[in-house]
Structure 1
Amino acid sequence: MHALLSAFAPIWTLTAIGYAVGRSGLLGEQAEAVLGRFVFHVAMPAALFTMVSGARPAAFANSSMVAFAAGTALVCGLGFVTAGRLFGRGTADRAIGSMASGYVNSANLGIPVAVQVLGDASFVAQIILFQVLLVSPVILTLLDTGTGTGSGKGVVVRRMLTMPVRNPIIMASLLGVVVSALGLRLPHALAHSGDLLGAAAVPTALITLGLSLNSRPATGGPTEHTEPAESTVRTKRAEVATTVALKTLVQPLIAFVVGGPLLHLPDHQLMAVVLCSALPTAQNAFIYAQQYGLDTRVARNSVVASTVVSMATLSLATWVLGTTGP
Structure 2
Amino acid sequence: MHALLSAFTPIWVLTAAGYAVGRGGLLGEQAEAVLGRFVFHVAMPAALFMMVSEARLSSFANQSVIAFGAGTVAVCALGFLAAGRFFGRKTADRAITGMASGYVNSANLGIPVAVQVLGDASFVAQIILFQVLLVSPVILTLLDTGTDRGRVHWRPVLRRMLTMPVRNPVIMASMLGVLVAATDLRVPSALGRSCDLLGAAAVPTALITLGLSLHGRRDGAEATEAPASRGEVAVAVALKNLVQPLAGFGVALLLGLPEQQVLAVVLCSALPTAQNAFLYARQYGLDTALARNSVVASTVVSMATLSLAAWALGPPG
CA distance in 2, matches of 1:267, 1:285: 31
CA distance in 2, matches of 1:8, 1:14: 10
CA distance in 1, matches of 2:106, 2:77: 19
Question: Counterpart in 1 of 2:68?
Answer: 68
- Work out whether 1:247 is the aligned partner of 2:248: no
CA distance in 2, matches of 1:39, 1:187: 23
Task: Give yes or no for contact 1:79–1:94 (8 Å, CA) kept in 2.
Answer: yes
C-alpha deviation, 1:59, in angstroms: 1.4
Task: Give yes or no for contact 1:281–1:303 (8 Å, CA) kept in 2.
Answer: yes
Question: Counterpart in 1 of 2:215?
Answer: 214
C-alpha deviation, 1:57, in angstroms: 2.4
Question: Counterpart in 2 of 1:302?
Answer: 294
CA distance in 1, matches of 2:315, 2:164: 43
Aligned CA RMSD, in angstroms, stands at 1.4
Task: Give yes or no for contact 1:46–1:198 (8 Å, CA) kept in 2.
Answer: yes
C-alpha deviation, 1:226, in angstroms: 4.6
Question: Residue 259 of structure 1 aligns to which amino acid in structure 2?
Answer: A
CA distance in 1, matches of 2:95, 2:52: 24
CA distance in 1, matches of 2:139, 2:315: 34
Question: Counterpart in 1 of 2:119?
Answer: 119
Task: Give yes or no for contact 1:117–1:323 (8 Å, CA) kept in 2.
Answer: no
Structure 2: tracts of 5 or more residues without a match: none
Question: Residue 251 of structure 1 aligns to which amino acid in structure 2?
Answer: Q
Task: Name which of 240, 261, 266 aligns with 1:269.
Answer: 261
CA distance in 1, matches of 2:168, 2:91: 18
CA distance in 2, matches of 1:252, 1:318: 12
Question: Residue 319 of structure 1 aligns to which amino acid in structure 2?
Answer: W
Deviations 1:23-82 (A, max 9, x none): 110000000000000000000000000001111223121110110000000000000000
Question: Residue 67 of structure 1 aligns to which amino acid in structure 2?
Answer: A
C-alpha deviation, 1:323, in angstroms: 3.9
Q: 1:17 to 1:294 in 2, by over 3 A?
A: same
Counterpart secondary structure, 1:273: helix
Task: Give yes or no for contact 1:52–1:129 (8 Å, CA) kept in 2.
Answer: yes
Question: Counterpart in 2 of 1:256?
Answer: 249
Question: Residue 168 of structure 1 aligns to which amino acid in structure 2?
Answer: P
CA distance in 2, matches of 1:140, 1:70: 19
Question: Counterpart in 2 of 1:99?
Answer: 99
Question: Counterpart in 2 of 1:160?
Answer: 161
| 1:283-322 paired onto structure 2 within 5 Å | 283-322=275-314
TM-score of the aligned structures, taking structure 1 as reference length: 0.95
C-alpha deviation, 1:217, in angstroms: 4.1
Counterpart secondary structure, 2:87: coil
Task: Give yes or no for contact 1:209–1:286 (8 Å, CA) kept in 2.
Answer: yes
Counterpart secondary structure, 1:279: coil
Report the identity percentage.
76
Task: Give yes or no for contact 1:118–1:323 (8 Å, CA) kept in 2.
Answer: no
Counterpart secondary structure, 1:216: coil
CA distance in 2, matches of 1:249, 1:58: 31
C-alpha deviation, 1:188, in angstroms: 1.1
CA distance in 1, matches of 2:214, 2:58: 39
CA distance in 2, matches of 1:301, 1:271: 27
Structure 1: tracts of 5 or more residues without a match: 219-224
Question: Residue 238 of structure 1 aligns to which amino acid in structure 2?
Answer: G
Structure 1 range deviating more: 289-298 or 143-152: 143-152
CA distance in 1, matches of 2:158, 2:101: 27
C-alpha deviation, 1:234, in angstroms: 1.4
CA distance in 2, matches of 1:49, 1:94: 28
| 1:1-16 paired onto structure 2 within 5 Å | 1-16=1-16
Question: Counterpart in 1 of 2:271?
Answer: 279
CA distance in 1, matches of 2:315, 2:110: 16
CA distance in 2, matches of 1:285, 1:2: 28
Question: Counterpart in 1 of 2:178?
Answer: 177
CA distance in 2, matches of 1:298, 1:65: 28
